[in-house]
Amino acid sequence: MSEGTRVLVLNAGSSSVKYQLIDMLDGSRPASGLVERIGEAGGRLVHTPRTGGRREAVQVFADHDAALKAVARELAADGIGLDSPDLAAIGHRVVHGGLRFTEPTVVTDEVLREIRRLIPVAPLHNPANITGIEVARALRPDLPQVAVFDTAFHASMPEHAARYAIDRAVADEHRVRRYGFHGTSHQYVSRATARLLGKDPAEVNVIVLHLGNGASASAVSGGRCVDTSMGLTPLEGLVMGTRSGDIDAGVVFHLHRVGGLSVDEIDTLLNRRSGLLGLCGDNDMREIMRRAEEGDADARLAFDAYVHRLRKYIGGYYAVLGRVDAIAFTAGVGENAAPVRAAATAGLEELGIAVDPELNSVRSGEPRIISSAYSRVAVAVVPTDEELEIARQAFALVHRTSAD
């Protein structure tokens, strides 16, 4: 087994790779960075060594292989290359783990085949995750490649939350059920929220709102997920940047039969041309808030629809949990968009939820409470750290000890 203390975490998306090198001894991050627009013109690599002096390269990255080799070169230039004996493992975010992968897993050929089999239920994500694993494995075949699945944390959902109310035989044959995603973030944030409250995760009920490009809500009771908003695929639930979230399945039949759209066209419509983008032409919440502020009606509608859906999930999960200790906002929108947090929680004093406007407007990268002293439910902003959680789980797996 490797004596290394560091884990390289890769989060490979369809046209990007985010990476972080994390030292598990002291939690330091010797380097992190991102390659964007892989396979497109105007590719960009941004590498940030801990020593400072962010490096940026604008060039074409033909594919993920070229991108990861460029990352390897950047790390080598800092003297922390992929050939370093300090590396204990490479941890990979894998979005869909299906029914089988409910724990971090060392990738073998057979595991890779199973992740590939799940592509139809995560077409935007699993293919890139697989490429990331293959390229990393070719670069360091001797190192454990550990897959950490977005679906894993949600495997504890009770059957009545995980099942769709459709014919059981059909559902079972095709493994159609609600899996949920962003689980690594929901797990990390729910625990960090308990810590912020000075409580044991086993004692608290938390609603986590992960609002990034993809967005999902979860109800976490005593450290276990009891419900989450995404389903068979990352399309269900909240209004997202480009995804519709909840929709009457009848819309699909209608668009096909009456609108003449093919199933693939409807897939693209709902996953890539809907949500905020579909409602107002923008999927960046900053831009939407700016336009809405200037009186743009489409942007206002998009904002209001986003918030309305969020409020329905807050209310729904309040009822699912019965007692709520905290509501935690996280990811790009949740951590930064004070107006979204304010609108999502406005007028809920009867539920014991009262956000303090001044605390809400503070900008900070630290976990913090934004509810007023008399709010029975703590409302918090808790920055997510999926990379650290992936590193911890990968490291714990290769050492078979808890790295907590």
Ligand X SMILES: Nc1ncnc2c1ncn2[C@@H]1O[C@H](COP(=O)(O)OP(=O)(O)O)[C@@H](O)[C@H]1O
Ligand Y SMILES: CC(=O)OP(=O)(O)O
Q: How far is the CB of 106 from ligand Y (least distance, A)?
A: 22
Shortest Å, Cβ 182 to Mg ion: 7
The answer to whether the CB of 392 falls within 8 A of the CB of 342 is no
CB of 185 to ligand Y, least distance (A): 9
CA atoms within 13 A on the CB side of 3: 2
Residues 356-378 as b/e (b if ≥16 CB within 10 A, e otherwise) read: beeebeeeeeebebbbbeebebb
Residue 32 touches ligand X, criterion: CB under 6 A: no
Q: In Å, how far are 110, 131, 183 from 113, measured between CA atoms?
A: 5, 12, 22
Q: Is 182 exposed, middle or buried, given 0-12, 13-18 or 19+ CB atoms closer than 10 A?
A: buried
Q: Which of residues 164-223 bind ligand X (CB under 6 A)?
A: 212-214
178 binds ligand Y (CB under 6 A): no
Choose from ligand X, Mg ion, ligand Y, none: what does 306 bind? Cβ within 5-8 Å by kind. Answer: none
Residue nearest to ligand X (CB): 332
Of residues 54 through 113, those in contact with ligand Y by CB under 6 A are 95
Residue 181 near which of ligand Y, ligand X, Mg ion, none (CB within 5-8 Å, type-dependent): ligand Y
Taking Cα atoms as reference points, which of 223, 148, 146, 157 lies closest to residue 182? Answer: 148
77: phi then psi, degrees, rounded to nearest 5:
-65, -25
Instruction: Check binding of 369 to ligand X (CB under 6 A).
Output: no
> Is residue 331 a contact point for ligand X (CB under 6 A)?
yes
User: Judged by CB under 6 A, does residue 285 bind ligand X?
Assistant: yes
- Rg (the chain; Cα; Å): 21
Catalytic residue list contains 78: no
Give dist(CA 178, CA 181) in Å, integer: 10
Q: How far is the CB of 36 from ligand X (least distance, A)?
A: 11
Of 211, 218, 239, 215, give the one whose Cα is nearest residue 304: 239
Q: How many residues at the interface with Mg ion, by CB under 5 A?
A: 1
* Binding to ligand X in span 61-120, by CB under 6 A: none
- Tell me which of 78, 109, 150, 284 is the catalytic residue: 150
Region of 59-67, 142-150, 264-272, 330-338 interacting with ligand X (CB under 6 A): 330-338
**Which one among 7, 122, 333, 369 touches ligand X, defined by CB under 6 A?**
333
Q: Which does 2 bind (CB under 5 to 8 A by kind): ligand Y, Mg ion, ligand X, none?
A: none
Measured torsion, CA atoms of residues 287, 290, 292, 295, in degrees rounded to the nearest 10:
-130
Neighbours of 136 (CB within 10 A): 26
Scanning 164-172, 208-216, 256-264, 366-374 for contacts with ligand Y by CB under 6 A, the matching segment is 208-216
Task: Give 362-369 contacts, CB < 8 A, sequence gap 24+.
Answer: 363/336, 367/192, 367/193, 367/195, 367/196, 368/196, 369/196
Per CB under 6 A, does 183 bind ligand Y? no
Residues that bind ligand Y (CB under 6 A): 95, 125, 150, 181-182, 212-214, 234
Active site residues: 150
Residues that bind ligand X (CB under 6 A): 212-214, 241, 284-286, 331-333, 336-337
Residues that bind Mg ion (CB under 5 A): 212
